[in-house]
Structure 1
Amino acid sequence: MLMTACKGTHIEVVFPKVEMQENPEGLATLNPRFSWQLASTMNDLVQHSYQIQVAASEDAFNKEEERIWDSGMVQDDQSVLIPYAGNELLSGETYYWRVKVVTNQGETAWSDVQHWSMALLDQSEWQAKWIGEDALSNPGETAEGNTRLAARYLRKSFTTGKEVKRAMLYISGLGSYEAYLNGQRVSDDVFAPTVSWYPERVYYNVYPVTSLLQKEDNLLGVKLGNGRFFGMRGSDTQVFGLPRLLAQLKIEYNDGTSELIVSDNSWKVSSKGPIIANNEYDGEEYDARLEMEGWNKTGFDDAGWKQADVMDAPGGELTAQPNPNIRVMEEIQPVHITRLEDGKFILDMGQNMVGWLRINNLKGKKDQPVTLRFAELLNPDSTLYLANIRSAKVTDSYTPAADGSFSWEPSFVYHGFRFVEITGLNEQPELSQFTGRVIYDQMETTGQFETSSEVINQIFRNAYWGIRGNYRGMPTDCPQRDERQGWLGDRATGCFGEAFVFNNALLYSKLAQDIEDSQSPEGSVSVVSPRYWTIYNDDVTWPAAWFYAAKMLWQQYGDTAPIKKHYASMKRYLERIQEVSMQDGILTKDT
């Protein structure tokens, strides 16, 4: 028997999610899982049953024959990760869903309609090719060692002569990309796609872009950075090859037809743009004298650009990315500027942060580079303390094309810093001319902690900034020096505490896959995963993070999928340890 809500009581479904995300794009699972929460004006709220409906359009819920799935009213108090159990879901399609709940205080109304879209479920659906500039054509570029490499700019013009119903972009750019449609950013994501062990797995992203299309002429433009794919840090860092792009734009028209715009050798490419070097560790160099105004819009003259080279696929399985990308999650303002005797300026952000510095209407001089060098601490003489940075150059630069004010921020670099050394200015800057852009993986802050002790409160704040500052598509050990790797031991038990502050489930679920992808054929686990530093020690302390993370996901989020998915590989690791690191049931080594 259904109950109406008690008089004066308001109950509603809040925070409906699919695979722990709100309205996600590009899910690869055939049985997406639904979750929700309940809110009431009264205490002691208990769910008795739920009903989920899925449809192919927002207006199809009232037509029984057009619903994809109706669970009926299920007598169950569960509201976390309820699997879809309807008809087979189709590749690339968008689906809509809603849920209502019966509680001890009455029945809710239907939730707001939510949606998700499916990824490309079969590799044969990809008609795009990997493309780029398969050459080293700029000063100082070499294939190995501490080298440098300019960003690649790619563009493709096309026309849409009919009314567009829906357009979806499927894209991967290695190491990182920024995509534009008719001059507008496709997304606010940065450092996309997320990092992986590329010989085993390459992630792609899915974006709805219908609103960005123009009626006739259109231009799809992509800027490629080096990321972790072209490492440029000598023998200690993996180099997988030159940057490359895979892009497939599917356009569906109102008349029922569709077409694909795919990356191939009909695209144009140039590495002669303003980003003349980019490296996560050393910085980004931007020369405004090389700007190509309008390169990502229609009407730009690309006669001087080259035909794109078709390049080899990276090798790993092309996989829809299961976790959100990194974004700018916060902005902070600097608190103080000091002028040193040599004319340099030291900018104090007032907080150790991870991200970059945005310049706002700063006055520069033509051909005179403005350089920014980053550090966490100062020496007693107020200069930067750089010993802990080791070999990383941590320096960004901007060369103005003319005298006057300019605004700028980098695209493919991040730093861990509180202080910034600024050179190349002829006059004292203002605090308002700088903004700290704080980045980490998109996730909710779900917990706070405060006591009557300011010392304890500051310890928590330090942990809060330190944890999120090391979320870079993988949990890293540090964000500032020449390392920034996914050391597993740092997160073995730490992941439990982090989960009380951040909704980090999708990041750690993805890390579990990184660890399996980095496992050796013999079963050894690399203590850095993804294994940009391949270290197979056959110890227990560091690889234990795999098991702890899986346990955390089960206990904190009710997600048993990672345990089931990686059980066989975890067992293979334990058999390896038993074989090479144990004697008479005793562990004989652990480093």
Structure 2
Amino acid sequence: MLVGSLKTEYAVRPLGTDADRPRFSWVATAPGYGARQTAYQVQLTSGDTEVWDSGKVPSAQSFGIEYDGPPLTPRTRYHWTVRLWDADDRETPTASDWFETALRNEGFANAQWIGGTTDTAPLLRRAFTVDGDIQRARLYASGLGYADLRLNGQPVTDAVLDPGFTDYGRTVLYVTHDVTDLLQPGDNAVGAELGRGFFAMNTPNVWRWHQAPWTSEPRLLARLVIEYADGRVTEVGTDDQWRVIGGPTVSDSLYTGETYDARRALPGWDTAAFDDSAWSSATLVDAPAGRLRAQEHEPIRVVETVPPVAVDEVRPGVWIADFGRTTAGWARLRVTAGAGTTITLTYGETVANGNVIAVNGHVDGDRIQRDEYIAAGSGVEEWEPRFSYKGFRYVQIEGARPDVELRVVNSDVASVTAFTSSEPAYEQFEQAMRRTVLSNLHGIPTDTPFYEKNGWTGDAQVGAPTMLATLDLARLFGKWLGDIRDSQADSGQLPVIVPTSGWGFEELSPATEWPTVYPILLHELHRAYGDERLVREHWDSLTRYLNWELDRVEDGLSISVLGDWLPPGYSDGPAPEDRRLTATAYLCRALLAAAELGDLIGRPHDYRKAAAELADGINRAFLDRETGIYRSADDPDYRQTSNVVPLAFGIVPEELAERVAANLATDVEQRGFHLNTGCLGVGLLLPVLTAYGYGEAATKVALQRSYPSWGYWFEQGADTMWEMWEADSRSRNHYFQGTVVQWILENVAGLRNLGAGWERIVVRPDARGATTSASVRTTTIRGRVTLSWRQVSRVFALEVHVPVGMTAEVHVPSDSPTDVAAVPQSLAGEATYADGYTSYTVGAGIWNFTSRTA
């Protein structure tokens, strides 16, 4: 057995953590079958000094191992080593890695927040001297809303739109940068250009970001610490000795875009040789109210650069560049033009009548997603925006014809899953959903990169299982849970968008199905990563929220103004059914999730009792026991979501479940195998149909090509998931209707995580209709799981790779257990024939099964 994939706080070699007790994780690998970790030892050193030794700990745990030594020192690199023991008490070779602490309780020392009164985005700089051999240098900085940091004419980082967006009244993030190689002997200069972001938003909008409690002008806090080889330490902190001037970025807004006047550019402003005597002294400004914390989630980066697939001149002097994909980011231009020439770039997801459509009724003014570059006339000029991102496929170019290329921009989270199938539509859906989710990850999970850029809680609620199945979101979702806690009102209420300016407590609220993301996402993160610390950290806030929800229950039901948002035919808002049904069902589900979490950390609660009472309330109010249908007086017809949600959440009385499911399948068939769900029901419909034996109907819905369906979108030219089922969908990059991918991974490929950090999985490809093969490869916190199956005539072949520390329950399609051949040959079916499957329970190893009569 070997040990590898070492991480600290879910990250490989984090450069700056403020965690008091960092957690370690690793992955054990071994050939053959049945390998087990039985013990581990973790040792921590700083330089030549041993700081902590866990000793040999009898345990199979390979993640969430907390440091348990003396307090860690700020700004210090620590090395840690792990060794394991297997089932035969054989010791593995050691593996080592490192992490660095950030400022911790030391803070920013004498550095102060600075700014300056400028009419454009401020440039701030400070010259200083280096007088020796540098051993190490770190720049700790928070620029609000965003900071483009420079040192000696070079960018400090490849991160963009940094630091991450938070409720600045509660939390302000700072970032640690290794700048050792950017310093030089003698004269040096450090600088920053500041963008507005959400901190200094000045574009009026319906969500009132321009009136948030923290709203102020851009500002900077920075501390540069230089350690010399001879032991000396010098520092450069932000203070009134810094210099400031208005720079060439004339305006910037996340909604309207940027204007950059290259004639105002100051070449070399970020170098030591630049003369800043004409600049003003920086002004000391008030610190934001939020507590400073090290940023530990993945930064936003330019992750890909793509040329256009076409650039057409639609009329004289107007070109439209088509990048062939719907995404989030911006365009980079390269142009030669006369001084003062203004080149405009208007971004949009659609084109109509020879114009890119860039309209947003939620934001004041007629300028939406538009960048302007005013040329200096200095030859070949290159530029790209730095303080706003856009959602788009097309860019309309006016003023001059530059070369343009797409810069794809999102939080740089790792992909953990690869999927293939003989059915092209399934691969198409999975890839489109992945692109859609990534387009909506910019420090928080958003709804749309074009219109809102808001962290709608309901979107993340329904999308989280699919998102976690495809991407590593331990750090980003962990950060966003902190944003949820920060947004909580004294009453315990949560808003429908997080972070919030204060909007969403009354507007489109209460809407139980949205903020119940809090307990449900905590539960999903425990399933994916086994994270108990998050549960403990959020428990008190979570219970305050659930108490607020329970206190407003009326006649056994919860009230919601949103419900099953945007079903077919209702593109203006919620579905027509009584929204108390879904509201109460989601509260019931949230309470059961909280009950499991409370049991996990040993906190007393009565959530199961409250959930049972709510389930009774739903059944009394909406269940017609004679027909086996959930309905309300508001329903214009049979509503799939009203019936699939109670089935999915275990609310239907056991004796009626089969009948309710049969009615659901009948409705699907009567609609020509079409769905009739909005964002709440869409991700539940196919799994529920499959679970109750209607996998063929689920497959027909999934592969439908006419309205309403996913296939219909792609018939209309979609390459991402849309907000609405209609062909004129407002947003073309919206993941909450794309959760069919969860069913594809769990039922078509057949891989399901049963929780506690992938401790147990079920392999059961029970939606194989219209498909002859599928495979899924997933990197979990315990290691890589690989599943592939192929059907050739009446022979079904299945291979499952199970990592150390995981147990798999494998269901092989067969007419009887004797029709299955397994490798190793001694493996016997551990369950009797039922539902056309033979069941096996296996541990670590690569397992092959062949069924001759599937």
Pairwise same-fold verdict (TM > 0.5): yes
- Residue 550 of structure 1 deviates from its aligned partner by 0.6
Q: Does 1:162 align with 2:137?
A: no
Q: Distance in 2 between matches of 1:467 and 1:589?
A: 26
Confirm or deny: 8 A CA contact 2:358 2:368 kept in the other structure.
no
- Residue 157 of structure 1 deviates from its aligned partner by 0.8
- 2:677 corresponding residue in structure 1: none
- 2:317 corresponding residue in structure 1: 343
- 1:546 corresponding residue in structure 2: 518
- 1:362 corresponding residue in structure 2: 335
Confirm or deny: 8 A CA contact 1:538 1:577 kept in the other structure.
no
Q: Quick check: 451-460 or 563-572, which moved more?
A: 451-460
The one of 92, 96, 100 equivalent to 1:108 is 92
Q: Distance in 2 between matches of 1:44 and 1:358?
A: 53
Q: Which amino acid aligns with 1:31?
A: R
Confirm or deny: 8 A CA contact 1:166 1:253 kept in the other structure.
yes
The one of 239, 242, 258 equivalent to 2:233 is 258
Matches within 5 A, 1:65-464: 66-104=49-87, 107-111=91-95, 113-122=96-105, 126-133=109-116, 135=117, 137-138=118-119, 150-234=120-204, 236=206, 237-239=208-210, 240-271=215-246, 273-359=247-333, 361-379=334-352, 381-387=353-359, 391=363, 393-402=368-377, 404-425=379-400, 433-464=403-434
User: Could you say which structure has the larger radius of gyration?
Assistant: 2
Q: Does 1:582 align with 2:553?
A: yes
Q: Distance in 2 between matches of 1:538 and 1:274?
A: 44
* Aligned length, in residue pairs: 550
Matches within 5 A, 1:461-472: 461-472=431-442
Percent sequence identity over aligned pairs: 33
- 1:3 corresponding residue in structure 2: none
Unpaired runs of 5+ residues, structure 2, are 563-854
- Residue 124 of structure 1 deviates from its aligned partner by 5.7
The one of 507, 513, 528 equivalent to 2:497 is 528
Confirm or deny: 8 A CA contact 1:539 1:577 kept in the other structure.
no
- Residue 446 of structure 1 deviates from its aligned partner by 0.3
SS of equivalent to 1:499: helix
CA deviation vs aligned residue, 1:243-292 (integer Å, no higher than 9, x gap): 00000111222332322211000000111x22111111111111111110
Q: Quick check: 14-23 or 39-48, which moved more?
A: 39-48
Unpaired runs of 5+ residues, structure 1, are 1-10, 61-65, 139-149
Q: Distance in 2 between matches of 1:336 and 1:46?
A: 55
Q: Which amino acid aligns with 1:108?
A: T
TM-score, structure 1 as length reference: 0.89
Q: Which amino acid aligns with 2:321?
A: L
- 1:145 corresponding residue in structure 2: none
The one of 561, 564, 572 equivalent to 2:533 is 561
Q: Distance in 1 between matches of 2:248 and 2:559?
A: 55
- 2:840 corresponding residue in structure 1: none
The one of 476, 494, 512 equivalent to 2:463 is 494
Confirm or deny: 8 A CA contact 1:389 1:480 kept in the other structure.
no
SS of equivalent to 1:17: strand
- Residue 107 of structure 1 deviates from its aligned partner by 4.1
SS of equivalent to 2:225: strand
- 1:8 corresponding residue in structure 2: none
Q: Does 1:508 align with 2:477?
A: yes
SS of equivalent to 2:93: coil
- Residue 101 of structure 1 deviates from its aligned partner by 2.3
Q: Distance in 2 between matches of 1:155 and 1:375?
A: 36
Q: Which amino acid aligns with 1:586?
A: L
Q: Distance in 2 between matches of 1:45 and 1:444?
A: 27
- Residue 16 of structure 1 deviates from its aligned partner by 0.8
Q: Distance in 1 between matches of 2:546 and 2:520?
A: 14
CA deviation vs aligned residue, 1:505-556 (integer Å, no higher than 9, x gap): 1111111111111111111111111113521134421111111111111011
Confirm or deny: 8 A CA contact 2:331 2:384 kept in the other structure.
yes
Q: Which amino acid aligns with 2:323?
A: M
CA deviation vs aligned residue, 1:8-41 (integer Å, no higher than 9, x gap): xxx5332210000011122111110011113445
Q: Which amino acid aligns with 1:488?
A: T
Confirm or deny: 8 A CA contact 1:553 1:560 kept in the other structure.
no
Q: Distance in 1 between matches of 2:547 and 2:242?
A: 50
TM-score, structure 2 as length reference: 0.62
Confirm or deny: 8 A CA contact 2:512 2:559 kept in the other structure.
no
The one of 21, 25, 45 equivalent to 2:11 is 21
Q: Which amino acid aligns with 2:93?
A: A
Q: Which amino acid aligns with 2:476?
A: L
Q: Distance in 2 between matches of 1:516 and 1:356?
A: 32
CA deviation vs aligned residue, 1:316-357 (integer Å, no higher than 9, x gap): 111112212111122222111111123311111011011111
CA deviation vs aligned residue, 1:356-387 (integer Å, no higher than 9, x gap): 1122x4333332111111111111x3421334
Confirm or deny: 8 A CA contact 1:201 1:517 kept in the other structure.
yes
- Residue 45 of structure 1 deviates from its aligned partner by 3.5
